[in-house]
């Protein structure tokens, strides 16, 4: 009996020791030269490569041994964490509006979008189609998505950034096809979403639905996600179809001013983001199927997999920027709410 | 009707068909809902052999997640043992105002969603709170760091020890303690030599449950963790990340280790039961 109570005493001592050890090991980790890059889901593989390249570059330039930590999640949720106090030195998110949300708290200065070239987007991406091997339904363009019994897989535009780009890309095609006839465009978008058997909450979820659970004939996906799925699930399982027209997505990056000033990491954080625009940074982005902003510095064989197509931007008068497009299309009672009724046939 | 039943039937005296049906149903249910999923975790983890399995676990981020999970459990479980024993002791052995309220309070973490348990700490220690920025000026990080994860884990696992001990202690009454006190023992001696030994098996069981949940907690921890790889990722969070990276084998390798920790916990409990007799674990309740 006494042994047992002694055991508790020992256990408490061990625990106390554990606390001290843990506290001791955490403190220096924060003090060393370290960057935290808070990013969104599909960039994991990209930044794994890029971080290694930057560490080497920074050392060669006479810098110290910089460690770069990564945090990934849904773009909106990640912005929320930074607002709540996650000490990101740099944010590399999916949407301009997510960085704007952080900027509103004062953690990022207002001019962030002009501090780096190309609207602070070192790489861009677009929406393409991932279809089953051999393209059995003959899908080549946006119009083919609403032919016959084609079923599409896309995440929910209410919750997913990627899904909004899908929707806007379809809209951009329909606008050209129907010469701006609003009723015809809405009828097309409505038909499109009736063909989605399931709307996942995020882009990765949709990829898994299509690739692993084998649901649907075509996945509307980020170009880089489509290639990644091809690599992960075997190149003989899917084909990638790049439509002649799509949307230009510009995932932006920014230094979090309040954090780098407090930690004294501004110099290395700024160098880190600038290195994304370097020859090596651009080639790494292209290797991971992001469209480089400086095509001229990228190896031709990497560019071959990212064919030139017509890309409509969000700032096109058709959409009028995120500030206008967000409430108009995706807000409560917006166009998406009007045309999409779950379960309606 | 009741007149015909004057002699009591043996309660297990069902027809053979009923017996087979019931036992079969139970076994099928267990196989499908418990055994198969568990086995599939291990099958998937070892699909590419032992070397890949080992590599997945010693990979620096995975290893950091394992260490963090063990550290968090090593802090949270002892804390909850102290809180749990103190709370159960007060509730079972003493009468005071607000006792019912205290019991409700202890049950609170069971009844609210883990996501909310996490969000509570975001509200308390986030950038928009009063406490968070104040602590930060002194260099103390709570949210998106280990202390926040520990706090959320302590909160979620708070009821396990107390809930295990309260019915047991209430059942035992205060007779032993009164005897000890009347024989001249001090309050501390009474607690250490009488109360605690009486509940040790219940306590051990509570500790095991508490530990299992502390290591496995996902919801609350995911809210306060910030998901920084190699720093604030616990094992359950790391499993999800690996899975989303299409890294199935590594995901299931970490998952299998987590499952293994739970199985070891269960084995430990069974071993103790066998060694110290059937009445041991679970106490006298």
How confident is the model at residue A342, as a pLDDT? 65
A15 to chain B nearest CA, in Å? 6
Residue whose C-alpha is closest to residue A222's, from A79, A47, A43 = A43
Question: What tens digit of pLDDT does each residue of B217-256 get?
Answer: 999 999 999 889 889 999 999 998 888 777 888 999 999 9
What is the extent of the structural domain holding B73?
A: 49-276
Q: φ and ψ at A253, to 5 degrees?
A: -130, 150
Rounded average pLDDT over B211-215: 91
Pair (B16, B30) in one structural domain: yes
User: Which tens digit of pLDDT belongs to each residue from A241-288?
Assistant: 999 999 998 899 999 999 999 999 999 999 999 999 999 999 999 999
pLDDT of residue A14: 44
CB contact under 8 A, B228 and A71: yes
Taken as a whole, chain A contains a residue count of 345
- pLDDT class of A9 with cuts at 50, 70, 90: very low
CB atoms within 10 A of CB B232: 24
In sequence order, what DSSP letters do the residues of B84-133 get, joined into one string?
HHHHHHHHHH---TTHHHHHHHHHHHHHS-HHHHHHHHHHHHSTTSSHHH
- Quote the pLDDT of residue A160: 79
Burial B181-192 (b: 16+ CB within 10 A, else e): eeeebeeeebbb
Enter the tokens of residue A245.
Answer: 């027209």
Cα–Cα dist B211/B268, whole Å: 13
Residues of chain B with Cβ-Cβ distance to A14 below 8 Å are 74
**Do B153 and B67 share a domain, yes or no?**
yes
Q: How many helices (H) and strands (E) does chain A have?
A: 16, 12
Closest by CA position to B258, among listed B57, B4, B61: B57
Residue of B nearest to A73 (CA): B227
* Whole-number pLDDT of residue B277: 57
pLDDT single digits (tens) A37-59: 999 888 888 999 999 999 999 99
In this structure, the number of other CB atoms found within 10 A of the CB of residue A12 comes to: 14
Q: How high is the pLDDT of residue B12?
A: 66
Q: Give how far B128 is from chain A: nearest CA, Å.
A: 7
ipTM exceeding cut-off 0.85 for this assembly: no
Lowest mean pLDDT among A43-57, A200-214, A324-338, B50-64: A200-214
Asked if B285 has any chain A CB less than 8 Å from its own CB, the reply is no
Average pLDDT, chain B: 87
Cβ contact (<8 Å) for B144 and A81? yes
Q: Are residues B144 and B187 in the same domain?
A: yes
**Cα separation values, B19 from B33, B74, B104, Å:** 21, 45, 42
Is the Cβ pair A1, B197 closer than 8 Å?
yes
**B218 interfaces chain A, CB cutoff of 8 Å:** no
Is B190:B175 a contact under the CB 8 Å cutoff?
A: no
Q: How confident is the model at residue B263 (pLDDT cuts 50, 70, 90)?
A: confident
Q: Which is more confident, A110 or A228?
A: A110
Assigned domain for B54 exists:
yes
Handedness of CA B113, B119, B123, B124 (dihedral sign): positive
Residue of A41, A45, A81 with shortest CB distance to B226: A81
- What's the CA angle centered on B22, arms B18 and B28, to 5 degrees? 140
* CATH class of the domain defined by A32-123+250-304: alpha beta
- More confidently predicted of A345 and B199: B199
Per-residue confidence (pLDDT) for residue A254, from 0 to 100: 97
Question: Which pLDDT score, from 0 to 100, does residue B152 have?
Answer: 95
Contact B227 A73 (CB under 8 A): yes
Mean pLDDT of B123-127: 89
Please state, in angstroms and rounded to a whole number, the distance separating the CA atoms of residues B80 and B159: 8
Q: Does residue A311 carry a pLDDT above 90?
A: yes
Please indicate, yes or no, whether residues B248 and B146 belong to a single structural domain of this protein: yes
Question: Is the same domain home to B55 and B175?
Answer: yes
Which of B136, B227, B244 lies at the smallest CB-CB distance from A71? Answer: B227
The upper half-sphere exposure of residue A120, i.e. CA atoms within 13 Å in the direction of its Cβ, equals: 23
pLDDT at residue A4 tops 50: no
Mean pLDDT, rounded, for A287-291 = 94
If asked whether residues B159 and B39 sit together in one domain, one would say no
Choose from B44, B70, B74 for mutation: most chain A CBs within 10 A. Answer: B74
CA distance A272 to A277: 10
pLDDT of the residue at A29: 40
Q: Each residue of A174-194: pLDDT tens digit?
A: 999 999 999 999 999 999 999
Name, in order, each residue with C-beta under 8 angstroms of A344's C-beta and a sequence gap of 6 or more.
A194
Q: Do A100 and A83 meet the contact criterion of CB atoms below 8 Å apart?
A: no
- B228:A70 CB<8 A: yes
Average pLDDT, chain A: 86
Element (H, E) at A248: strand A245-248
The reply to whether B116 touches chain A by the CB within 8 Å rule is no
Please report the pLDDT score of residue A96 as a whole number: 87
Q: Are A48 and B203 in contact (CB under 8 A)?
A: no
**Rounded distance between C-alpha atoms, residue B127 and residue B116, angstroms:** 18
Fold of A127-248+314-339: D-Maltodextrin-Binding Protein; domain 2 (3.40.190)
> Which of A74-78, A127-131, B69-73, B185-189 is predicted with the least confidence, judged by mean pLDDT?
A74-78
pTM here is 0.78
C-alpha distance from B41 to closest chain A C-alpha (Å): 17
With contact defined as beta carbons under 8 Å apart, do A284 and A46 qualify? yes
List alpha helices for chain B, DSSP H: 16-30, 36-45, 49-58, 60-93, 99-111, 114-125, 131-137, 146-172, 175-182, 187-190, 196-198, 200-216, 219-225, 235-244, 248-276
CA-to-CA separations, B183 to A38, B188, B189, B199, in angstroms, rounded = 64, 14, 11, 21
Given a cut of 90, whether residue A110 has pLDDT beyond it is yes
Residue B3 is predicted with a pLDDT of 52
* Residues A302 and A286: beta-carbon distance below 8 Å: yes
pLDDT band, very low/low/confident/very high, at B8 (cuts 50, 70, 90): low
Check pLDDT > 90 for residue A102: yes
- Do B70 and B204 belong to one domain? yes
- State the pairing for strand pair A218-222/A152-153: parallel
> What pLDDT sits at residue A24?
39
Same domain, B57 and B10: no
Q: Tell whether B74 and B38 lie within a shared domain.
A: no
Rounded distance between C-alpha atoms, residue B76 and residue B82, angstroms = 10
At A22 the pLDDT is 44
What is residue A215's predicted lDDT score, i.e. its pLDDT?
92
Written as six digits, the tokens of A24 are 């001791």
- Position B194 in a domain: yes
Tally C-beta pairs within 8 A across A and B: 83
- Please tell me the total count of domains within chain B: 2
Q: What is the pLDDT of residue A213?
A: 84
Residue B155 within a domain? yes
Is a pLDDT exceeding 90 seen at residue B130?
A: no
Q: Map out the domains of chain A as residue ranges.
A: 32-123+250-304, 127-248+314-339
**A70 to chain B nearest CA, in Å?**
6
């Amino acid at each position: 009996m006494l042994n047992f109570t002694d055991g508790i005493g020992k256990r408490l001592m061990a625990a106390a020791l554990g606390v001290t050890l843990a506290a001791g090991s955490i403190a220096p980790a924060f003090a060393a030269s370290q960057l935290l890059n808070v990013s969104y889901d599909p960039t994991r593989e990209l930044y794994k490569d890029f971080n290694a390249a930057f560490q080497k570059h920074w050392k060669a330039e006479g810098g110290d041994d910089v460690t770069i930590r990564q945090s990934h999640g849904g773009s909106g949720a990640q912005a929320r964490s930074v607002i709540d106090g996650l000490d990101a030195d740099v944010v590399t998110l999916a949407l301009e509006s997510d960085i704007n949300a952080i900027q509103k708290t004062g953690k990022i200065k207002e001019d962030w979008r002009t501090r780096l070239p190309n609207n602070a987007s070192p790489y861009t991406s677009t929406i393409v189609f991932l279809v089953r091997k051999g393209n059995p339904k003959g899908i080549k363009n946006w119009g083919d998505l609403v032919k016959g019994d084609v079923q599409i897989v896309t995440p929910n535009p209410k919750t997913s950034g990627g899904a909004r780009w899908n929707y806007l890309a379809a809209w951009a095609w329909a606008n050209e096809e129907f010469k701006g006839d609003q009723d015809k465009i809405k009828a097309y978008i409505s038909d499109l979403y009736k063909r989605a058997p399931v709307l996942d909450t995020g882009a990765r979820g949709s990829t898994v639905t299509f690739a692993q659970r084998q649901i649907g004939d075509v996945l509307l996906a980020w170009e880089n996600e489509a290639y990644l799925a091809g690599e992960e699930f075997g190149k003989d399982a899917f084909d990638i179809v790049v439509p002649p027209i799509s949307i230009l997505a510009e995932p932006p990056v920014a230094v979090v001013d309040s954090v780098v000033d407090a930690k004294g990491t501004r110099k290395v954080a700024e160098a880190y983001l600038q290195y994304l625009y370097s020859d090596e940074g651009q080639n790494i982005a292209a290797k991971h199927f992001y469209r480089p902003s400086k095509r001229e510095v990228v190896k031709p064989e990497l560019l071959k997999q990212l064919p030139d197509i017509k890309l409509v931007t969000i700032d096109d008068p058709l959409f009028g920027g995120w500030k206008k497009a967000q409430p108009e299309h995706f807000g409560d009672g917006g166009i998406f709410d009007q045309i999409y009724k779950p379960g309606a046939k | 009707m009741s007149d015909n039943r004057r002699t009591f039937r043996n309660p297990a005296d069902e027809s053979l068909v009923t017996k087979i049906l019931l036992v079969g149903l139970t076994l099928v249910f267990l196989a499908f809902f418990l055994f198969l999923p568990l086995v599939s975790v291990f099958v998937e983890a070892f699909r590419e052999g032992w070397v890949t399995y080992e590599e997945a676990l010693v990979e620096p981020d995975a290893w950091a997640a394992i260490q963090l999970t063990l550290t968090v459990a090593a802090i949270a479980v002892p804390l909850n043992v102290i809180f749990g024993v103190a709370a159960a002791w007060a509730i079972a052995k003493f009468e005071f105002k607000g006792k019912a309220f205290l019991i409700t309070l202890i049950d609170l973490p069971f009844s609210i969603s883990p996501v909310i348990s996490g969000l509570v700490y975001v509200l308390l220690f986030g950038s928009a709170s009063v406490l968070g920025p104040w602590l930060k000026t002194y260099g103390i990080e709570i949210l998106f760091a280990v202390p926040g994860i520990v706090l959320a884990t302590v909160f979620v696992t708070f009821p396990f020890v107390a809930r295990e001990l309260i019915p047991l202690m209430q059942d035992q009454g205060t007779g032993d303690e009164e005897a000890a006190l009347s024989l001249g023992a001090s309050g501390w001696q009474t607690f250490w030599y009488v109360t605690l030994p009486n509940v040790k098996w219940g306590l051990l069981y509570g500790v095991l449950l508490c530990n299992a949940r502390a290591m496995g907690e996902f919801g609350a921890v995911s809210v306060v963790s910030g998901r920084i790889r190699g720093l604030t990722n616990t094992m359950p969070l790391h499993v999800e990340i690996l899975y989303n990276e299409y890294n199935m084998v590594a995901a299931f390798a970490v998952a299998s280790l987590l499952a293994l920790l739970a199985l070891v916990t269960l084995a430990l409990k069974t071993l103790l039961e066998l060694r110290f007799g059937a009445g041991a674990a679970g106490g006298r309740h």
